[in-house]
Amino acid sequence: MRAIVTVIGKDRVGIIADVCAILAKNRVNVLDISQTVMQEYFTMIMLVDMLKEGVAFDQLSTLLNDAGRELGLSIRIQREDIFNAMHRI
């Protein structure tokens, strides 16, 4: 299942590393990644593929939310379908 991970928060060292570590540990493959820093605010968007043998969606979502809280970032994961539905005919 493909999903979009968005990470928004104040920039600091190691954000990408931290998020990717969680994803790798849970058998989530990163397909595409884009990031910008605007006025100290870090925004990263990742297209990921959740492998079948990996963790369940809601578990991963909770893991990312909790990690976000610890790191002082907003991290969320949403199925790709919602963006396709909203922005593509």
Partner 1 sequence: MITSGEILQTIEMIDQQHLDIRTITMGISLRDCAHPDIGVCCGKIYDKITKCAESLVVTGEQIEKEFGIPIVNKRISVTPIALIADSCEAEDYVPIASVLDKAAKEVGVNFLGGYSALVHKGFTKGDIKLIRSIPEALSLTERVCSSVNVATTRAGINMDAVAEMGRVIKETAMLTATDGGLGCAKLVVFANAVEDNPFMAGAFHGEGEPECVINVGVSGPGVVHHAISACRGLPFDDVAETIKKTAFRITRMGQLVAQEASKRLGVPFGVVDLSLAPTPEIGDSVADILEEMGLESVGTHGTTAALALLNDAVKKGGVMASSHVGGLSGAFIPVSEDAGMIRAAERGLLSLEKLEAMTCVCSVGLDMIAVPGDTSAETLSAIIADEAAIGVINNKTTAVRIIPVPGKGVGESVDFGGLLGKAPIMPVHPSSSAEFILRGGRIPAPLNSLKN
Interface residues toward partner 1, by CB under 8 A? 4, 6, 32, 34, 36, 43, 45, 47, 57-58, 61, 76-88
Q: Which residues 6+ apart lie within 8 Å of 60 measured at CB?
A: 26, 28, 50, 54, 77
CB of 14 to partner 1, least distance (A): 21
* Nearest-approach distance from CB 1 to partner 1, in angstroms: 9
Q: With the C-alpha atoms ordered 72, 86, 20, 11, is the resulting torsion angle positive or negative? A: negative
Q: Which is nearer to partner 1, 53 or 58 (CB)?
A: 58
Whether 16 and 87 have beta carbons less than 8 Å apart is answered as: no
Query: CB of residue 64 vs partner 1: minimum separation in angstroms?
Result: 11
